[in-house]
Amino acid sequence: MISTELQESTSELLDRRATALERVPVAHAALRACRLCPQDCGVNRLADEHGRCQAGAAARVFSAQIEVGDELELIPTFAIAFNGCDMRCAFCITGVDSWNPHRGELFDATALAAKATAALESGARTVMILGGEPTIHLSDAIRLVAALPSSVRLVWKTNAYISAKPRAWLAGLFDVWLADFKFGNDECAERLAGIGDYRRHVQDTLVWADHASELIIRHLLMPGHVDCCWEPIARWVATELPVTKVSLRCGFWPAWKARRHSELQRTVTMAEERRAMEIAGNYNLHLIE
Amino acid sequence: MKSKINFAQEKNVQNASSEEILIMTDGRILTHNLTPAMAATLRHLNPDDKPMQQRAKISKEERSHGISART
């Protein structure tokens, strides 16, 4: 019985790597008219055209290291951060790297897989692929999946503001989707991150991800945005994804360009944190640390 | 509220770990890209910080299996 289960498990893992390899060419070809995110630029990144994210065809990596700051069930994780992002959050903690397509080192799947393997052998539980927003470098991210050890527990850390097609190409490749739900309304998303139609796209991604894999929804509590952002997010999750794990992060600090917005010039107060936890309790959310 | 200390190491994928911390005047410690080594250090700064204690504990357990801060 155990042997059969192992065989099935091994078969699934081999399928993941094979599936990833199959998808690399089509994901790469998508850069000819890039519509990987809802910005829907349609630029030819293979011909050095740049859309809103400014990313070219070649991915770069600005960080690859073991980290313990994420959700407890995922750490220690070997976190691999791609540069470039489709959003422009004023408070981005990695804005210097995420917004600049030339930061970091050129992507090398073999070298990164070797580092990840070494990390796993010394005790890391997971490998996390993140950004920026890794979806904008989808073909290289998938190429990395194909190069990683079969048994690794893979985490896709995303801002969830992505299009349907890349979601389909990511199906079955990751064990966990760790997805941000940053804004509770489109007005805050437009003002603080410069993007439109935010809630619809993110909610579509979250519902899809909840069916496709294990999902953890992460919300970074922002000062002054408890009632306009966190409350409607909590309400929606309670209604649509009531048993999904939710990670409420209260460690906001006024990074990058946050000081351009008066309410973001400080950290979250203890009163705001208590109020946010009260909301989570009222909606009976499945909070994790 | 003003931060007391805010530093960020130069990021170099090949040669160094990278993390950021923000220590608040009320004693709270905020972190980003928290590495095992930094978690182990910060647990001593604020022993009442339960989340940091949890992360430092996991780091310590994993270090006993061979994890180093740099990769």
Q: Which residues of B touch A220 (CB under 8 A)?
A: none
b/e map B41-71, b = 16+ CB within 10 Å: ebbeeeeebeebebbbebbeebbeeebebeb
Please state which CATH number belongs to domain A2-287: 3.20.20.70
Q: Which of A64, A76, A266 sits opposite B58 (nearest CB)?
A: A76
Output the pLDDT for position B68.
40
- Whose tokens are 């994890």? That residue is B67
CB proximity B70 to A under 8 Å: yes
Q: Which residues of B touch A130 (CB under 8 A)?
A: none
**Residue A175 CB burial class (10 angstroms; 0-12, 13-18, ≥19):** middle
Q: For the ranges A18-22, A42-46, A149-153, A283-287, which has the lowest average pLDDT?
A: A149-153
Residues 22-51 of B with CB under 8 A from A: 22, 24, 28, 30-36, 39, 51
Q: Reading across the β-sheet that carries A176-180, which strands appear in turn? A: A105-106, A60-67, A77-82, A126-130, A153-158, A176-180, A214-220, A245-249, A286-287
Residuewise pLDDT in 10s, chain B (71 residues): 333 333 333 344 444 567 888 888 887 888 999 999 999 889 888 888 888 888 988 877 665 654 443 32
The pairing of strands A126-130 and A176-180 is: unpaired
**CA A25, chain centre distance (Å):** 22
Q: For the ranges A51-55, A227-231, B13-17, which has the lowest average pLDDT?
A: B13-17
Output the pLDDT for position A112.
98
Confidence band, pLDDT 50/70/90 cuts, at residue A67: very high
Kindly report the nearest CA distance between residue B40 and chain A, in angstroms. 10
Cross-chain residue pair B54–A69, CB shorter than 8 Å: no
DSSP H or E stretch at residue A78: strand A77-82
| Strand partners of residue B23 | B5, B29
Cross-chain residue pair B55–A105, CB shorter than 8 Å: no
- Whose tokens are 């780091």? That residue is B59
| Sequence spans of domains, chain B | 3-63
| DSSP assigned state of A47 | G
- Whose tokens are 């994928």? That residue is B13
Query: For A259-274, what is each residue's pLDDT tens digit?
Result: 999 999 999 999 999 9
**CA A238, chain centre distance (Å):** 21
Task: Pick the residue of B2, B15, B18 with the most A CBs within 10 A to test the interface with A by mutation.
Answer: B18
CA distance A229 to A232: 6
Average pLDDT value for residue range A11-34: 89
Q: Indicate the average pLDDT of chain A.
A: 94
Cross-chain residue pair A62–B22, CB shorter than 8 Å: no
Task: Pick the residue of A60, A63, A66, A107 with the most B CBs within 10 A to test the interface with B by mutation.
Answer: A66
What's chain B's Rg over C-alpha atoms?
A: 13
Residue A154's φ and ψ, nearest 5 degrees, are: -100, 135
Cross-chain residue pair B59–A76, CB shorter than 8 Å: yes
Q: Is the peptide bond before A56 cis (omega within 30 degrees of 0)?
A: no
| Sequence spans of domains, chain A | 2-287
Output the pLDDT for position A9.
46
Three-state DSSP class for B30?
Answer: strand
- Whose tokens are 């408890």? That residue is A226
The interface pTM score, or ipTM, of the predicted complex is: 0.85
Kindly report the nearest CA distance between residue B63 and chain A, in angstroms. 7
Query: For A149-206, what is each residue's pLDDT tens digit?
Result: 988 999 999 999 999 999 999 999 999 999 999 999 999 999 999 999 999 999 999 9
Q: For the ranges A74-83, A133-142, A222-231, B22-31, which has the lowest average pLDDT?
A: B22-31
Beta strands in A140-274 (DSSP E): 153-158, 176-180, 214-220, 245-249
Q: Which residues of B touch A68 (CB under 8 A)?
A: 34-36, 39, 55-56, 58-59
In the predicted structure, residue A4 carries a pLDDT above the cut 60: no
Select from A170, A53, A75, A88 the least CA-distant residue to A128: A75
- Whose tokens are 């959003």? That residue is A87
Q: What percent of chain A has pLDDT over 70?
A: 95
Q: Which residues of A touch B18 (CB under 8 A)?
A: 63, 65
